[in-house]
Structure 1
Amino acid sequence: MPDILRRPLPLALLIALVAEALFLWRLSVPHILVFDETHYVPAARKLLALAGPTNIEHPLLAKTLIAAGIALFGDNPFGWRFLSTLAATAVVTGVFAILWLGLRRLRPAAIGAITTLLGFTVFVQARIAMLDGFMAAFVVAGAASLLWAMRGTGAQVVRRWIAGAILLGLATACKWTAAPYVAFAGVALILLKRRRPDRWSGLSVAEGLALLGATSILTYFLTFAPAFFYTNDPLTIGRLVPFQLTMFQQQTQVLPPHTYQSSWWSWPLDIRPIWYLYEPVDGAQRGILLVGNPVVLWGGLVAVAACLIGWLRIRDVRLGCAAGLWIAGFGIWPAIPKSLGFFYYYYLPSIWLGIAIAVAFDHWRVRLRYWDEAFLMLAAGLFIHFYPILSAAPLAGPRSFERWMWFSSWP
């Protein structure tokens, strides 16, 4: 490895550049709206025009970012999707940052970031104008900032902590499923400060919780600013808080059954993926399947279990945090009052698997020497194999999908 890549910043930038290039390649294919783009791109168009409320079951920020892409690059597939690629690159880079800050070792940081890139879900969500990609980017960046604050001194601690709270507020302003991560951050502060009071030096638990709550809530509400300038039915200060109840009612309404619905317990097992696209378009049969890389999803579960067992035995905080991120992120779903579930809800928990895998390989690195390289090679091999139906590449014909269908529940 060149000497320049033995430093965290150049290595992180290289991984980010490779990820962004991969996400951008043929981004405008297909030239039609795909899956939930049919909801969010029209909503972004109305938001850009400040025409009036639409798609009111979700906050504004992610749709505002899609609208920003349209404003920058035009109302075309590249404009709809470009900022999603940046969000996904932020996810990959954020995983690198979390692992570097937590372990101070380049190898697991790179392993985690590359595993995240090869896990299928980040790649697919990078190339579609949906809310989840932006939400995940802000959560991962927020977690990295809070961890960075733990390694600060003096005023750095407070500034970085506030930055993390802002990012978590922005995540919630994309999609409400990010809100529990504000609580998770507060719980982490309490538990880790109790174990070692010198963490986040100069920031007391009470101060940290107050800053976290106030900053994230204020940030969340500020993102509704465009709604105050609608030409039709503008929002008002008096209606801002009651409007949250309207959103909740919209989100919890009972919906009719859907072809691709699935139960929360099935997501980690990769049982029911989602065809975002499978039809003739742009002169060829094309498909986009949101499915998890089996090596990453199933291997990640093994890593989570190993980290949890290791933490129970030796109380290593790094193992506990790696397992806890996934357990907490996935554990919210049985309690969320949604009438239907879909595999893409697993997007953020699937990202935490990359961290668990990297931490497990690092902790048992003497015993598992070079297994991390073999793991990445296998994950990369599956990425190459599945690439045609992850990227909307041209296929031979209508039955081409059968080549990739491992289970009867996948078609």
Structure 2
Amino acid sequence: MRRLLAPFSRPVPALLALLVAAQALFCWRLTTPHRLVFDEVHYVSAARTLLALDGPVNIEHPLLGKMLIAAGMLIFGDTPLGWRALSTLAGTAIVGGVFAIVWLMTRRTRPAATAALLTLVNFMVLVQARIAMLDGYMAAFLVLAIAMMGWAMRGSVAQSRWRWTLGAVLLGLAVGVKWAAVPYLGYAAIGFVLMKRGDASRWPELRWWSAWGLLGIGAGLAYAVTFTPAFFYAHDPLTLATLLPFQLDIYARQTQVLPPHTYQSLWWSWPVIGRPIWYFYEVADGAQRGIFLLGNPAVMWGGLVAVATCALGWVRTREVRLGFAAALWIGGFAIWAIIPKSLGFYYYYFLPAIWLSIAIAVAIDRWRPRLRDWDEAYLVAAVCLLVYFYPILTAGALAGPDSFARWTWFADWR
């Protein structure tokens, strides 16, 4: 077994194997069901309007995510494949980005591969990688931005600057998909100061005012450029004079009071999978099918233990990797307590759910001698749960209309 796994002890072969596995998993039966699912109704329609450059639509979110859906439709046609194809690439980028973040934190392949594998078997990543929604694109840009900024910590002065700037651009693109990425601009600015103070050799010769300037300029310009198609609308086109006021329109839509929804949930319930969402549960393509957005229980619940462990470990040892792993999840989750949204939905937990994989991998790596072989048993359990839930994550053919009961462990899951 050790000889068979030997090639995967090196980062590049391990990363490539995980990327191939992720892309294959996300693409398998991608076009099922052959109809719009959940919020695809909004975003595919908006992508069609963008392709026609007809006028503003779905203005509660910036344009980039809908532009990417439109790009898939240009390549593969206005079909289920076209709607969802680029979402699979975003999902694979998330897996690769998580691998890169943890490898940069630990300089070891095993924890990086562990984090990427847990991301791969995270049900939320799988579902969002197979649907034409915005969250997968936002998460992909954000994860890659964090990896790039981490890469900028070491290297020559020139390397540090261009990597940090590229990370800022990727953050701006994430905001250009959904404003839910905005808090991470602040986290990047604060994180730079704190980590630079702890070790001045990080980001060599890059001072805080330069870093903040590059962050603001890179992210701001990238975000502004994503509105380019709106300047060419046939009706109500944007102008340079209306670009900034249009942001107030987005904010007004983001904070409007909405009527109650069947699947609404409170932010504090998300970590324990309090109210997952049925994206789809109908007869389609000749069979009863369902798409259930929930988190892998092993990752969701085990991740909370890992975050607490990393946080306590940081308090005792001040190890940067432990503090960073805990802070990623805490910052990504706690912000939802103050974001002015009238309704909450479980898919808002998408980013914090990704950070759980990082916390788990870092905790396992830090305390692996105490775990003995339990970490491997845990990974097997996470994979087995994916196999068990797979039919209702990917619109597999079910026996009948009551089949959902097999997977709905709690009343709130129905």
Give the TM-score normalised by the residue count of structure 2: 0.98
- 1:370, CA displacement in angstroms? 2.1
Query: In the TM superposition, what whole-angstrom CA distance separates every residue of 1:348-398 from its partner, at most 9, and x where no partner exists?
Result: 100000000000000001111222211110001111000010010000000
**Aligned pairs (5 A) from 1:146-225:** 146-225=149-228
Structure 1 position 138 matched with structure 2 position 160: no
Q: Identity rate of aligned residues, in percent?
A: 62
Partner of 2:312: 309
Q: Which moved more, 1:255-264 or 1:196-205?
A: 196-205
C-alpha distance in 2, partners of 1:261/1:320?
32
Given candidates 110, 115, 118, the residue that maps to 1:115 is: 118
Q: Which residue of 1 aligns with 2:97?
A: 94
1:305 is paired with a residue whose SS is helix
3-state SS, counterpart of residue 20 of structure 2 = helix
Unaligned runs of 5+ in 2: none
CA contact (8 A) 1:135 1:178 kept: yes
Q: 1:69 is matched with which residue: 68, 72, 76? A: 72
In structure 1, what is the Cα distance between the partners aligned to 2:54 and 2:95?
35
Superposed, which structure 2 residues align to 1:345-360 within 5 Å?
A: 345-360=348-363
Deviations 1:13-49 (A, max 9, x none): 1100100000000000000100000000000000011
Counterpart position of 1:392: 395
Cross-structure match for 2:43:
40
Match of residue 409 from structure 1? 412
Instruction: Tell me if structure 2 keeps the 8 A contact 1:286–1:394.
Output: yes
Is 1:330 aligned with 2:346?
Answer: no
Distance 2:275 2:128 in 1: 17
Deviation at 1:151, TM superposition (A): 1.7
Q: Secondary structure at the match of 2:193?
A: helix
Query: One-letter code of the match for 1:211?
Result: L
Moved more, 262-271 or 201-210: 201-210
Moved over 6 A (4+): none
Residue in structure 1 matched with residue 296 of structure 2 by the alignment? 293
2: distance between equivalents of 1:370 and 1:84?
35
AA aligned to 2:213 is A
Over the aligned positions, Cα root-mean-square deviation in angstroms equals 0.8
> Residue 52 of structure 1 aligns with which residue?
55
SS of the residue corresponding to residue 396 of structure 2 reads coil
Within the candidate set 273, 284, 298, 1:270 is matched to 273
Q: Residue 157 of structure 2 contacts residue 203 of structure 2 at CA under 8 Å; is this kept in 1? A: no
Structure 2: distance between partners of 1:253 and 1:205: 36
Equivalent pairs counted in the alignment come to: 411
1:283 corresponding residue in structure 2: 286
Residue pair 1:111, 1:372 contacting (<8 A) in 2 also? no
- 1:227 pairs with 2:224: no
Deviation at 1:3, TM superposition (A): 4.8
- The answer to whether the 8 Å contact 2:9/2:110 transfers is no
Q: State the SS of the aligned residue for 1:262.
A: coil
Alpha-carbon deviation of 1:2? Answer: 5.2
Whole-angstrom distance in 1 between the partners of 2:177 and 2:374: 37
Q: Which of 257, 261, 266 is the matching residue for 2:264?
A: 261
Q: What are the superposed Cα offsets for residues 172-223 of structure 1, whole Å, 9 maximum, x if unpaired? A: 0000000111111111100001111110112111111110111101110111
**Residues 162 and 211, structure 1, Cα contact 8 Å, conserved in 2:** yes
